Amino acid sequence: MSLFKKTFSSLNVTRNKMSNTFKRIFNKSKLSDADYEKIEECLLESDVSWNLTEKVIENIKSNHQDRDWENSLKEIFKDVLDNCREFSLKKNIIMIGVNGAGKTTSSAKLANLLKTDSEVCLVAADTYRAAAVEQLKLWSDRINVDCIANSNTSDPASIAYDGVSAGNSRKLDHVIIDTAGRLHTSSNLMNELEKIYRVISKITDDISIVMNLDANIGQNAIKQVEEFNNALPIDGLILNKMDGTAKGGIAISICDKFKIPIIYLGVGEKKDSIIPFNAENYIDSLISIEDSV
């Protein structure tokens, strides 16, 4: 299946919700106030931010003579995604996020994706959740990638340091560090995350900080990104559980506010259920009045 079809399929819920509204509107020669209200309601319910929704409505109103509502909407969203910062995946990848965001599974799926043309290892630095290390080891066996763990210490920074050191000595291309899920309101755990970054920064600056988000939480993701980004400089985002959400607009809202790029979409629990984020594919899949591809 092509990346476009995978993206299209993952956004079925959001797209169907939008298309039911847009099909009735975009074929009109003139839009009424009620039509604009329906567009606004649809975008907000799909977790497009209020500021961006207002921008969309104003743009469509000012270009109403073009009668190309669908492409106007796509162009606005594409401009937002194109204005995100550039991203290049570095050697050492620290996976962060709240509990239940899908970090451990994403770590394994990312390792499986990267190993097709790179030497990769996983590092089990989640020392809080009892089953986390075992879960990552099971994944590592399944995808045939080494997993570095240390049962003799509960210090995640020490484990992360050992993992990065091992990656250097083995001349690996990527080291993926799975960290414990933590609430952004927990200062102690956020300080611990800063310590992990600080400790491995002593031996390398080749680090990408990748935050995992559950796409189903919608606008709550904005607050999570804000708090984590205050603690660590987030380089990129993985949106997980995209295959079941009606809130697909959150990706655009996050990019509009923080300029942090979405780099991957998690679209299931299988080892290959992760796809590189492509802005054009995403927008074409999110806003389509066609029934299929």
Q: Which of 137, 85, 9, 63 is nearest to 258 (CA)?
A: 85
C-alpha angle 47-50-54 in degrees, rounded to nearest 5: 120
- Please determine, for residue 172, whether its predicted confidence score (pLDDT) is greater than 90: yes
Cβ–Cβ contacts within 10 Å for residue 188, how many?
7
Q: What is the mean pLDDT of residues 9-23?
A: 69
Does 290 or 268 have the greater pLDDT score? 268
**Domains assigned to the chain:** 92-234 (3.40.50.300)
Per-residue pLDDT reduced to its tens digit, 77-127: 899 999 999 999 999 999 999 988 899 999 999 999 999 999 999 999 998
Q: What is the mean pLDDT of residues 243-267?
A: 85
pLDDT for 5 equals 65
Q: What is the mean pLDDT of residues 186-213?
A: 93
Give the whole-angstrom CA distance, residue 58 versus residue 194.
41
Considering only 9-18, 132-141, 146-155, 200-209, which range has the smallest mean pLDDT? 9-18
Q: What is the mean pLDDT of residues 206-212?
A: 97
Rg of the chain over all Cα atoms, to the nearest angstrom: 20
Integer CA distances (angstroms), 231 to 151, 162, 185, 187, 195, in order: 27, 23, 11, 10, 10
Band the pLDDT of 293: cuts 50, 70, 90: very low
Name the phi and psi angles at 262, rounded to 5. Answer: -80, 130
- Please determine, for residue 66, whether its predicted confidence score (pLDDT) is greater than 80: no
Band the pLDDT of 26: cuts 50, 70, 90: confident
Give the whole-angstrom CA distance, residue 283 versus residue 73.
9
List, in order, residues 6 or more apart from 60 with CB less than 8 Å away.
Answer: 31, 36, 39, 69, 72, 73
Per-residue pLDDT reduced to its tens digit, 127-165: 887 788 999 999 999 999 999 999 888 899 999 999 999
List, in order, residues 6 or more apart from 187 with CB less than 8 Å away.
Answer: none
